[in-house]
Amino acid sequence: MDYIKEIENELIGTNDLPSFQAGDTITVSYKIREGNKERIQQFQGVVLQRRGEATGTFTVRKMSGNIGVERIFPISSPFIENIVINKVGRVRRARIFYFRERTGKSARIKEKRRAITKK
């Protein structure tokens, strides 16, 4: 038995986050506290990697003008309001760090087609 994993699972609450992986374009709504005020900031970009399970992190990269901005979010953070998956990308690797050097048309990721179900 691994006592550390049992304690981690007890302390970390279950998040209702959608399942996403590297290559997906997501929008993360993140709470930012400035003094006494609290606001929600949107960060939309491509997921470069996911690390760990319960206490893991994921890295999101976006282009702001001509400058690439990366941000690392903890999965079990209480500041994450919600995550919306905009596009599901089709990549061959779990960590797409080669994406940092790409610009223009070579920086595109193919989109995975999803079947639309009508109810």
What band does 20 get if pLDDT is binned at 50, 70 and 90? very high
Q: What is the pLDDT of residue 14?
A: 62
**Do the bridges between strand 37-51 and strand 25-34 make them parallel or antiparallel, or are there none, so unpaired?**
antiparallel
Domains in the chain: ranges and CATH: 3-102 (2.30.30.790)
Sheet order of strands, 67-74 included: 67-74, 57-64, 37-51, 25-34, 80-87
Q: What is the pLDDT of residue 43?
A: 96
pLDDT surpasses 90 at 3: no
pLDDT surpasses 80 at 119: no
pLDDT tens track for 68-111: 999 999 998 889 999 999 999 999 999 999 999 988 889 889 98
In terms of pLDDT, which residue wins out, 40 or 112? Answer: 40
